[in-house]
Amino acid sequence: MPQITSIEPQKRRQGRFNIYVEGKFSFAADENMLAKNILSVGKSLSADDIEKLTKENEAGKLFDASLRFLSYRQRSEKEVKDFLVKKIARCENIKFNLASQSPVISQIITRLKKQSFLNDEEFAEWWVKARTGSQPKGPYVIRMELLRKGVDKEIVEKAISKITNQKELGSKVIEKKLVIWKTLTNLELKKKIYEHLARRGFDSKTINEVIAQIVKKV
């Protein structure tokens, strides 16, 4: 049975190793994979062993890629799934619909959720907070954005319900526009405010409250 003849650290990636079987490169592995499978020089590996370890290495690389993807900002479960599908399709040169059927995707999603890297409830709350920040969006727009990102409707509604300062957010949006609109008549100003806030996802009740407040000031 073929044996591992050398285990060499990769130069560019710390913590990863190239495994050579009978003097030829066979597959790569990280430290966890080495320890888990007790890989060492002299260990015998069957063809099935090598195939299994190769698949495990590919899954490990996809998991690491997912962590890097999540490091830029929080993501929804669907966003990570879509990322993995594209990654697998590109690496294996197959169509998206075939890549989406890969069992490794559900394995990685489960692992990410188990290790608290992925949580749609936390993501929805973070998204609402981000979208009501410096350039506020209203509940309608935020709701559609979250639904497009595959977040469950109940989770979306729970996160949206925490937006209790719509009037304040709407006023914040309009305050930045008043300098540009200062020459408008009251009727024109009301129309501009309504159209602008509606596009940003605010409901009519909030818009009318903002209009009443702004018009009173001017």
Can 55-117 and 119-164 be said to share one CATH topology? Answer: yes
State the pTM of this model: 0.81
C-alpha 111: how far from chain center: 15
Q: What percent of the chain has pLDDT over 90?
A: 67
CATH 3.90.950.10 fits 119-164, yes or no: no
CATH number assigned to the domain covering 55-117: 1.10.10
Judge whether 140 and 120 are in contact, CB under 8 Å: no
What residue segments make up the domains of the chain, in order of their start?
A: 1-45, 55-117, 119-164, 165-218
User: pLDDT tens digit string along 3-55?
Assistant: 999 999 888 778 888 899 999 998 888 888 899 899 999 999 999 999 899 88
Q: For 61-102, how does the pLDDT look when each residue is reduced to its tens digit (9 = 90+)?
A: 899 999 999 999 999 999 999 999 999 888 767 688 877 888
CA torsion sign, 52 to 58 to 61 to 66? Answer: negative
